[in-house]
Amino acid sequence: MQQIIDRRLAGKNKSIGNRERFLRRHKEQIREAVRRAVEGRGIRDIAQGEDIHIPRRDISEPVFGHGQGGKREMVHPGNKDFVRGDRIERPKGGQGGSGQASDAGGGEDDFVFHLSKEEFMQVFFDDLALPNLIRTTLADTPEYKTHRAGFSSDGTPNNLHVVRSMRGAIGRRIALGSESRRELHRLEDLLVELRAQPVSAERLHEIEQLETDIAALRARIDRIPYLDPIDLRYRSRVRTPVPTAKAVMFCVMDVSGSMDEARKDLAKRFFILLYLFLTRHYEKIDIVFIRHHTQAQEVDEHDFFHATETGGTVVSSALVLMEEIIRARYPRNEWNVYGAQASDGDNWHDDSPRCRQLLEHGILPLCRYFAYIQVVEQEQNLWHEYASLAEASDTFAMRKASEVDQIYPVFRDLFRKEGAAK
Amino acid sequence: MSDTFNRRHVGQAATPDEYGGRRPRPPLRVPLPPTDRPAQTLPGPSDWTFDLIDQYHAVIRATAERFSLDTYPNQLEIITAEQMMDAYASVGMPVNYRHWSYGKEFISTEKNYRRGQMGLAYEIVINSNPCISYLMEENTMAMQALVIAHAAYGHNSFFKGNYLFRMWTDAGSIVDYLVYAKNYVAACEERHGVDAVELLLDSCHALMNYGVDRYRRPGKLSLTQELERAKDREAYAQQQVNEIWRTLPPKSGKDAGEKEQARFPADPQENLLYFIEKNAPLLEPWQREIVRIVRKIAQYFYPQRQTQVMNEGWATFWHHHLLNTMYDDGYLEDGIMIEWLKSHTNVVFQPPVDHPAYSGMNPYALGFAMYSDIKRICEAPTDEDRYWFPDIAGRDWLETLDHAMRNFKDESFIGQYLSPRVMRNFRLFSIVDDEVDPTLEVSAIHDEAGYRSLREAMSRQYDLGSREPNIQVWSVNLRGDRSLMLRHTQHNERPLHDNAYEVLKHVARLWGFPVHLESVGSLGNVSRRWTVDPSTA
């Protein structure tokens, strides 16, 4: 039978496996391209796709072929004025018309393709993870996973297990009918016997009696239903709650007067990276944005990145607020707490030792990891205080990034997966 | 039940009654008469529907039967442009194992398509039984009709009829085999890591063109047998490799007669992948199986590479003839005709040599012109035709065409049937490019003196044997470092491309010991030599 099959809905993205293998193979070049791309981008455009260039020679698949030289004869169409014996100048450069021009000459153009946003982010955050994430509990709105748990006698029709049901039905029919069938066979044998005997009125009566009985038995057997609701068996699926790791991330940024636009831009880039990273890797994650000048306040995402308030600098105000929030909302036995702070290192002079105190005794014991990033090169008192802390604690890390192109490496450095190569 | 014969070692062409009763129907001498003229033409909107495709297909099928086109059953599948690119990327097959090169292909196809630099092919047809033809969703009704006639009847009958396909491919089992290959490769990736499999496949692909048997038909492929035998084969092949390891000093006296170690292999081997599969000392069993898979798939495509002109020409001739006949019989509207004719004209356009779009002969144009000309020679021969083709001039065209389709490949088809008129129409001329000569020479043009040499040159141009360098396994150094020697025999002093060194690295990776390649000129002189040591490659 000739037939038409509609395949349009089937097998979309069948090539995705091949594409992945291709990307995997050229990971280094792609990573490099992604790094370059991020440096040049504005904050809003960071999470976009990118065109990737790969030199063609890197993706060639060599095969044996003929090179230039030797003697060969080629037939071409479209003769205009040649006659036999004409001599033609040898064309310069790539010999035309050999059909191998793409392997032989030229062909050094880059292989260009577009990396989708998803793939871009994949490369971007490859090998990164939140450090020390261990504590797992059941979340408030737990996730469920369904898995099979044998068979049950009720369920929805789509879960009906036909084989099981039919097996039950056969068993029931055999069990319910066996007595009647045995009786039926006995009577049938008897009937045959009687019929074989000589005819008499009594016999005829007996035969008639037997035939009525047999008909009754047959009817009874026939009345046994082929399939009864009690035969139905359904695949049983149960849902079990899955424990999830819950994490909360504190983003602390200095918005004081000394943080000019360029510095804020650096800090923002860092947090945007962090934000994208977190939203990508962890579904169950809370993010708390704290910005501070002389006073700290908790703000939403939009205000954090875009509001333009400004003032003096008291770093400790933010840390105090952070500690309060942790104690109030994120009990240590349920949450993995992370902190990231960005500042230009400029602080009210007497405040820096206090910051260190707060971190060391208040926040770090509650935190899994705390990262500090300073957006200027110059080391001020805050940096010195923190530096002594960093030596003592392995859950505290600090880096400097004074240029846009340092943000990404610093970020990668801070959140490198344990065991991943530098 | 018909018996099957194992002809693998007989080296003789298949007879018509072999291979599961695929005996061709004898061709009709004249087409059957048309059925009654329909009351009205088929509807001709630009959008297709399933119902319409069914109607058109029914008429096309009936028309094809009038010309006794013998085909596998047809399976038409509607797919999207993206799926078409998928199929493109995996060498036109519905399933295939995963490899980065297909990803690369997909990415570049997609990019070109998105930018509108390239239209997708309207159709892909798979040499399988049933014969699967892909119709693209975006095509108009006229294009779908064209594709059905072209792929489902033209290509399909060629696949079923041509001797190369009958001899080298097993349409019934190819899809099963690809499923097996895909699963096997996936299992290997899981067990041995994606990288190891990728390296191996890269190396095998580099030698794919040298993984075909040219003179013996390989065994049938079947999923179940293949699975059953894969294990045995692995174990057995591993034992056989020991041939190369068997270099322990022979026991004194016993093997004295064999002192002069025989050459290994006894004769040069042209199937490099086969040789490697059977003899490479260091390959693991699973690696041998993958080499085998690549080899089998290369073999499957081997006939297609040899019958481009014939295959495309045949399909083009038949869509042209079928649709025209349908028009004559009153089935097609004028609008449909104009649309497919426009597309047909584009397909058979042959840019002349000085045209910017020129990139060699267009196989559609040449093939279409040749089949059409054979038909003309049969129906209305001129004196010239009687002189050049005394055996077909004036014969029944259907029978002649059928014979021409079944029993040739490009090289012999052109050698046999390229007529002076076709050469004149294309204004063919040949150029000799000799390295030692500072200029190129026009050696023949489309005139009385040039026809024969033009035809020969054209035929040689389609000879795979001269298109691809002739490289064979020459010897293995059994006594010493187990190095493998390959030999390139130059044809017309044409040297190897510089890629050879890169390919040789792949050979060395498969062989596991040093590999040498010698390029030998016509005088027996070794003009160039490459060596790759796997430890440095």
Per-residue model confidence as pLDDT tens digits over A40-83: 665 556 666 777 777 766 777 888 888 888 888 889 998 888 88
B360 contacts A25? CB cut-off 8 A: no
What is the percent of chain A with per-residue pLDDT over 70, rounded to a whole number? 82
CA B241, B245, B247, B252 torsion: positive or negative? Answer: negative
Number of domains in chain B: 4
List CB contacts (< 8 A) between B446 and chain A.
Answer: 79
Q: Give a yes or no: residue B10 inside a domain.
A: no
pLDDT at position B5, please?
40
Q: How many helices (H) and strands (E) does chain B have?
A: 21, 9
Alpha-carbon span A9 to B516, nearest angstrom: 51
- Beta carbons within 8 Å of A248's beta carbon, 6+ residues apart: A285, A286, A287, A288, A326, A330, A335, A336, A337, A338
Residue-level pLDDT at B511: 92
- Please compute the mean of the pLDDT values over residues B447-463 and round it to a whole number: 91
Residue in B89, B101, B454 closest to A61 by CB: B101
Domain made up of A244-414: CATH architecture: 3-Layer(aba) Sandwich (3.40)
Q: Is the pTM of this model over 0.80?
A: no
Rounded to whole angstroms, the Cα distance separating B437 from B441 reads 9
Burial classification of residue A162, based on how many CB atoms lie within 10 Å of its CB (0-12 exposed, 13-18 middle, 19 or more buried):
exposed
Sign of CA dihedral A59, A64, A65, A69: positive
Q: What is the pLDDT of residue B380?
A: 92
Minimal Cα distance from B472: which residue of A? A64
Q: Is residue B29 one of the residues assigned to a domain?
A: no
One domain, residues B188 and B311:
no
Q: State which residue of chain B sits closest to A3, comparing Cα positions.
A: B75
Q: Which residues in chain B have Cβ-Cβ distances shorter than 8 Å to A80?
A: 352, 354, 427
**C-alpha distance from A130 to closest chain B C-alpha (Å):** 27
B118/B187 same-domain check: no
- Which tokens in the block code for residue A303? 């205000």
* B221 and B288 together in one domain: yes
> Per-residue b/e over B118-148, b at no fewer than 16 CB within 10 Å?
eebebbbbbbbbbbbbbbbbebbbbbbbbbb
Work out whether strand A369-374 and strand A396-400 pair parallel, antiparallel, or are unpaired. parallel
Could you tell me where the beta strands, DSSP code E, fall in B31-160?
A: 74-79, 123-126, 131-136
Is the N-terminal amide bond of B265 cis, ω within 30° of 0?
Answer: yes
Query: Residue A60: closest CA among chain B residues belongs to which residue?
Result: B101
B425 within 8 A of B376, measured Cβ to Cβ: no
Average pLDDT over residues A281-300: 81
Over 60: is that where the pLDDT of B10 sits? no
Of A2, A14, A23, the CB nearest to B57: A2
% of residues, chain A, pLDDT over 90:
9
pLDDT in tens, A128-175: 666 666 555 555 556 677 888 888 888 888 889 999 999 999 999 999
Q: Assess contact for A415 and A277: CB atoms under 8 A.
A: yes
Asked whether residue B486 falls in the same domain as residue B518, the answer is: yes
Q: In this structure, is residue B507 part of a structural domain?
A: yes
What's the Cα-to-Cα distance from B421 to each of B224, B278, B344, B445, B447, rounded to whole Å?
52, 50, 21, 13, 10
Chain A's closest residue to B78, CA to CA, is: A6
Q: What is the DSSP string of B303-334?
A: HHHH-HHHHHHHHHHHHHHHHHHHHHTT-S-H
CA-based nearest distance B219→chain A, Å: 27
Q: How far apart are CA B320 and CA A407, in angstroms?
A: 64
Together in a domain, B228 and B119:
no
Tokens 């097993």 found at: B170
Let me know if residue B459 belongs to a domain.
yes
ipTM reported for the complex, 2 dp = 0.78
Q: Which residues of chain A lie closer than 8 angstroms to B442, CB-CB?
A: 82-88
pLDDT at B102: 86
Q: What average pLDDT does range B231-255 have in this prediction?
A: 61
Residue A73 and residue B432: Cβ atoms within 8 Å?
yes
Q: What is the 3-state secondary structure (H, E, C) of B425-472?
A: HHCCEEEEEECCCCEEEEEEECCCCCHHHHHHHHHHHCCHHHHCCEEE
Task: Name the residue among B379, B376, B373, B358 with its Cα closest to residue B425.
Answer: B373
* Domain edge (last residue) among B410, B431, B465: B465
Please write the tens of the pLDDT for every residue from B300-356. 888 888 898 999 999 999 999 999 999 999 999 999 999 999 989 988 889 998 888
The amino acid present at B325, given as its one-letter code, is T
- Look at residue B13 in the predicted model and tell me its pLDDT: 41
Residues B183 and B286 placed together within one structural domain of the fold: yes
- The average confidence (pLDDT) of chain A is 79
- How many residues make up chain A in this entry? 422
Do B184 and B291 share a domain, yes or no? yes
Determine the structural domain holding residue B497 and report its residue range: 469-532
User: Taking the mean position of all CA atoms in its chain, how far away is CA B374?
Assistant: 24
3-state secondary structure of A340: strand
> From the list A7, A82, A97, which residue is nearest B79 (CB)?
A7
Average pLDDT, chain B: 83
pLDDT recorded at residue A127 = 64
Q: Does B479 share its domain with B517? A: yes
Q: Residue B322 has what pLDDT?
A: 94
Whether residue A99 and residue B360 make contact (CB cut-off 8 A), yes or no, is yes
Q: Give the burial class of B245: count Cβ atoms within 10 A of its Cβ; 0-12 exposed, 13-18 middle, 19 or more buried.
A: exposed
pLDDT number for residue B89: 77
Q: How far apart are CA A340 and CA A247, in angstroms?
A: 13
Across the range A249-267, mean pLDDT stands at: 82
Cross-chain CB nearest to A88 (options B80, B355, B440)? B440
* B531, containing H or E segment: strand B526-532
The closest CB to that of B442, out of A20, A68, A82, belongs to A82
Distances from the Cα of A130 to the Cαs of A343, A371, B370, B382, in angstroms? Answer: 21, 11, 69, 85
pLDDT tier for residue B412 given thresholds of 50, 70 and 90:
very high
pLDDT (average), residues B142-165:
91
- A28-37, A235-244, B73-82, B419-428: which is most confident: B419-428
Q: Do B435 and A71 touch (CB under 8 A)?
A: yes
Task: Please write the tens of the pLDDT for every residue from B346-398.
Answer: 888 899 988 888 888 889 999 999 999 999 999 999 999 999 999 998 889 99
Contact residues, chain B, for A70 at CB < 8 Å: 435, 490-495
Q: Are residues B178 and B275 in the same domain?
A: yes
How does strand A136-137 pair with strand A244-245?
antiparallel
Q: Which candidate from A19, A76, A88 shows the least CB-CB separation from B103?
A: A19
